[in-house]
Amino acid sequence: MPDAAATARLMRVIDEMTKELDRQGLAEAMVNLGFDPTALAEVVIKAADGDVVRFPGPGGRRGH
């Protein structure tokens, strides 16, 4: 079970991501696509902590 500080950090990141998607006019489209902000927020936190985050980009790994 995550501790209170980790949960609070996750919720803050989700809140900021939601605000940014809304600012860009993408929030409704992301909801319609079934976007899960929690998974992305967890990756954002890992990257912010200095962990290497693999991102295959469009089309997958393409021979890597």
- pLDDT at residue 60, rounded to an integer: 58
Distance CA 14, CA 43 (A): 11
- pLDDT at residue 1, rounded to an integer: 54
Distance CA 41, CA 16 (A): 10
Place of tokens 């927020």: 41
Query: Which residue, among 6, 14, 18, has the nearest Cα to 44 in the 3D structure?
Result: 14
Q: Please tell me the total number of residues recorded for the chain in this structure.
A: 64
Ranges of the chain whose pLDDT falls below 50: 64
Distance CA 17, CA 22 (A): 8
- pLDDT at residue 62, rounded to an integer: 52
Q: pTM for the full model? A: 0.73
